Structure 1
Amino acid sequence: MRVLFYSMPANAHLYNLIPLAWAFRSAGHDVVFASQPDLVDAIKKTGIPAVSVGKDSETMKFLAETPPEDTVWGSGYRLNEKDPEKLTYDYLTNMFAAYCSPGGFGYYTNDEVLDDLVAFARDWKTDLVVWDALSFSGPIAARAAGAANVRVLQGMDHWVRMRERMLTLAKDVPEAERVDPVADWLGERLARYGAEFAEEVAVGTATIDPLPPGNSYDLDFDYLQMRSLPFNGPTEIPAWVRERPAKPRIALTLGLTTREVHDNGVPAADLIGAIADLEVEVVATLSHEQLSKVMTVPENVRAVEFVPLNALLPSCSAIIHHCGTGTTGCAVINGVPQIVVPGNLWSEDDTGQYIADRGAGLVTSPEELTAEGLRDMVVRILDDSSFQAGADQLQKETLAAPSPADVVIELEKLAADR
């Protein structure tokens, strides 16, 4: 079987897909990974053959430098909105229109990328396209090539949650007044290749959920659960990581996407300063820019640009982080109690609350974060063994979920039935 993976050009989204790509390779399938040129080097370093499509996106530069009001995040509409009073039909249709605009997902789904990706998918006679859930060039290429497509979540499924609600409310709207911005947007791009819109282009022929069990919304939608298998990129494990720490070790990280896009209002200096006087060892994985905002690095803080979390966390007593999908999954799979200061890019607040509700950690919003409050949370995590027990139980449940190799078997059946 020929399996084409596709993602927007961002390392965090690439790494979320790599364990499944290797599971396909290990099962004997032909696998390639396509993206824009600015991700190709990162793809090649994973050992999966790369296919370059379109031009350099400069996506992260665009998001970092463009004022929020000129992007979907400043449009006044939020895909992660949960207030039922706001979720009217007009709000939902306008929200989807904003997300399908050039300042939203439309930025990634341009003609240059689509022309190259569709041409490759057709020429290669692709059987299955596996795509990052924000990267809609993938399902468009699959539809144009007659292949099945599989969506892989990178967070809780706001897209289907909001789409289900919009389609339900549409039943009470006169047919002549109904609109579907998603179908219109995807349909216009499909028409370029002689194909028509189908719902599977918007939500996948199947959807894989790699989040911890229960970290999801109650939706009328089928998911393939898959155990998170942390991949931190090609790297070397430093010798000091393998040494047993003399004091409780605390990891502090703001993740790959936070470095590249927005700081999410989480001040690194405040995080470090809050625990500087505790009898702990802090490993802070912060960029040079983030560290430049820290006036003095305390003696008990080891500041590094990068360290593979999957190697670091087994020696840690806790982790402080922004609740990105990769970081959260890595903490869960290693059974480490978490202190979450959630970002605001996707579903970080709900996932942080899930960790707290499971007794595996504590959560506070960036707006409520204080040095004293964070210090108190670290002390609580270290002194109260119930947090470790909660983390252990969540780890046990996660390890029982199907592995990427198990999921490949299900996807082989899906492609065969196409």
Structure 2
Amino acid sequence: MRMLFLAGGSPATVFALVPLATAARNGGHEVLVAATADMAGVITAAGLPAASVTPLAMRDFMLAGRDGSPLSLPDDPGERMRFGGRGFGRLAAGSLPALRELGRGWRPDVVVGGALAFGAALLAGELKVPYVRHAWDMGEPLAMELGAADELAPELARSGLTELPAADLWIDICPPSVADPAAPSGLTMRFVPCGLQRELEPWMYTRGERRRVCVTAGSRVSKEYEFDHLDALVGKVSGPDVEVLVAAPEEAAAALRERHPGVRAGWLPLDTVLHTCDLLLHAGGGQTALTAVRAGVPQMVVPNMPKLWGPNRRLADHGVARLPQAGEDGPGDVARVCREMLATPSYARRAAELAAELAALPGPAEVLPAVEALARG
């Protein structure tokens, strides 16, 4: 069979699809993974064939209208989520011409689209093949889907639709006890981290004598973007009783190593390193959060986007994470909460229980037959 996977415009949207796409390829199927052109290298680094559906980057669709006019992020959190959804709607509309050409030339038997890759639903409908919707992380707010539907109204109308097409199968990757209660019913697959790797050094997979805290502000941090906040966090969390690891791009990491001697900073293979850590301090990204869940590591989360509060609040309610209280998201306050968590055994215990729940879920090869059955039908 031929299976077309459609990601988005960031590495995380590719990484989420890699386990199932790899299982399909290992199972003898023909697989293509489509995304924005700047994601082609991420796809091929995972050992999968890549197809570009637009030369534009995700940022271009988020910050500009269809006519190229600049757009500004709204201040209201709810409207900002709808704004993000409209950006993914513009990505779908801008990708449709290339997707149609790909569909005509390659003729997939099934289309698997990431959670906000709405072009997958539209293409599958036009080709009259099954559509599988695949979660990217712990869930996306309904407001983003509503924003995408608003943006895609012209495309939907041309197809005789008044709303976004429903998937024939929904695949979640979030453990049920912390899943979004509003998520569609379907199959839950074990999350498998697939971040970019590097050659391992012994300290990456062995524990030291001190407790370890891993700090990350995401893959986009730079000397011009969020560096001062990350620098302050590292300074506050560090201490004689704590070893700090910082996952960051090399430009920011080099500056942090200079400012904080003894701190290990760089591009870290989190799926390995987190198994040696006692706490993860991060900005709320869904793939990062699930990687920590898999490793059984408690999390201190300071979300940097409104849409990230909901999923991480579920982790906090489950007892494996903390979120900052209003007015307490400064570096000093965050460092204090981190030390409280290190001193409270219940966080590690609950994190280990959640890791066991995730590990017991069916893996990609076990979920693949459901996709095969759809394609055969």
Residue 284 of structure 1 pairs with residue 246 of structure 2: yes
| Mean CA deviation greater in 283-292 or 370-379 | 283-292
Relative to structure 1, the CA distance from residue 265 to residue 390 in structure 2 (aligned partners, 3 Å threshold; closer, same or farther) is farther
Contact 1:100/1:185, CA 8 A, preserved across alignment? no
Relative to structure 1, the CA distance from residue 393 to residue 221 in structure 2 (aligned partners, 3 Å threshold; closer, same or farther) is same
Superposed, 1:280-319 pairs within 5 Å as 280-288=242-250, 290=252, 297-304=259-266, 306-319=267-280
Q: CA-atom RMSD, angstroms?
A: 3.2
User: 1:72 deviation in Å?
Assistant: 7.0
User: 1:327 deviation in Å?
Assistant: 0.6
Tell me which residue corresponds to 2:350: 390
Q: Deviation digits for residues 317-363 of structure 1, max 9, x if unmatched?
A: 111111211111110011111111122152x2122222222221322
AA matched with 1:246:
E
1:255 pairs with one of 211, 218, 228: 218
SS of the residue aligned with 1:151? strand
Tell me which residue corresponds to 2:90: 107
AA matched with 2:321:
G
Q: Deviation digits for residues 118-175 of structure 1, max 9, x if unmatched?
A: 1211322211111112222222221121111111222424238975xx9xxxxxxxxx
* Alpha-carbon distance in 2 for matches of 1:78, 1:204: 25
2:118 pairs with one of 125, 128, 136: 136
Q: Deviation digits for residues 230-249 of structure 1, max 9, x if unmatched?
A: 11124322333134312111
Tell me which residue corresponds to 1:377: 337
* Alpha-carbon distance in 1 for matches of 2:53, 2:360: 37
* Alpha-carbon distance in 2 for matches of 1:247, 1:283: 12
Segments of 5+ residues of structure 2 without an aligned counterpart are: none
Tell me which residue corresponds to 2:31: 31
AA matched with 1:374:
V
* Alpha-carbon distance in 2 for matches of 1:79, 1:227: 32
Tell me which residue corresponds to 1:13: 13
SS of the residue aligned with 1:359? coil
Relative to structure 1, the CA distance from residue 395 to residue 100 in structure 2 (aligned partners, 3 Å threshold; closer, same or farther) is closer
1:275 pairs with one of 234, 237, 255: 237
Residue 215 of structure 1 pairs with residue 178 of structure 2: yes
SS of the residue aligned with 1:267? helix
Contact 1:37/1:53, CA 8 A, preserved across alignment? yes
Contact 2:61/2:91, CA 8 A, preserved across alignment? no
User: 1:367 deviation in Å?
Assistant: 4.9
* Alpha-carbon distance in 2 for matches of 1:393, 1:204: 31
Q: Deviation digits for residues 284-335 of structure 1, max 9, x if unmatched?
A: 112355458869632342121x111001011111111112111111100111
Relative to structure 1, the CA distance from residue 265 to residue 141 in structure 2 (aligned partners, 3 Å threshold; closer, same or farther) is farther
Tell me which residue corresponds to 2:198: 235
User: 1:266 deviation in Å?
Assistant: 8.6
1:151 pairs with one of 104, 117, 133: 133
Relative to structure 1, the CA distance from residue 400 to residue 73 in structure 2 (aligned partners, 3 Å threshold; closer, same or farther) is farther
Q: TM-score, normalised by structure 1?
A: 0.79
* Alpha-carbon distance in 2 for matches of 1:3, 1:213: 27
* Alpha-carbon distance in 2 for matches of 1:291, 1:124: 43
AA matched with 1:277:
G
Contact 1:161/1:219, CA 8 A, preserved across alignment? no
SS of the residue aligned with 1:147? coil
AA matched with 2:331:
A
Identical residues among aligned pairs (%): 26
* Alpha-carbon distance in 2 for matches of 1:373, 1:181: 40
Relative to structure 1, the CA distance from residue 356 to residue 263 in structure 2 (aligned partners, 3 Å threshold; closer, same or farther) is farther
Q: Deviation digits for residues 188-210 of structure 1, max 9, x if unmatched?
A: 4xx3xxx44375x4442222211
* Alpha-carbon distance in 2 for matches of 1:124, 1:255: 36
AA matched with 1:150:
V
AA matched with 1:270:
A
1:413 pairs with one of 358, 365, 373: 373
Tell me which residue corresponds to 1:171: none
* Alpha-carbon distance in 2 for matches of 1:277, 1:131: 45
Tell me which residue corresponds to 1:206: 169
SS of the residue aligned with 1:255? coil
Tell me which residue corresponds to 2:289: 328
* Alpha-carbon distance in 1 for matches of 2:332, 2:84: 38
User: 1:59 deviation in Å?
Assistant: 2.6
* Alpha-carbon distance in 1 for matches of 2:214, 2:291: 12
AA matched with 1:238:
E
* Alpha-carbon distance in 2 for matches of 1:366, 1:38: 37
Segments of 5+ residues of structure 1 without an aligned counterpart are: 82-94, 167-179
Contact 2:23/2:364, CA 8 A, preserved across alignment? yes
Tell me which residue corresponds to 2:161: 197
Relative to structure 1, the CA distance from residue 149 to residue 243 in structure 2 (aligned partners, 3 Å threshold; closer, same or farther) is same
* Alpha-carbon distance in 2 for matches of 1:64, 1:116: 21
AA matched with 1:322:
A
SS of the residue aligned with 2:113? strand
Tell me which residue corresponds to 2:209: 246
Relative to structure 1, the CA distance from residue 363 to residue 214 in structure 2 (aligned partners, 3 Å threshold; closer, same or farther) is same
AA matched with 1:60:
R
User: 1:63 deviation in Å?
Assistant: 5.4
Q: TM-score, normalised by structure 2?
A: 0.86
* Alpha-carbon distance in 2 for matches of 1:143, 1:198: 14
User: 1:3 deviation in Å?
Assistant: 0.3
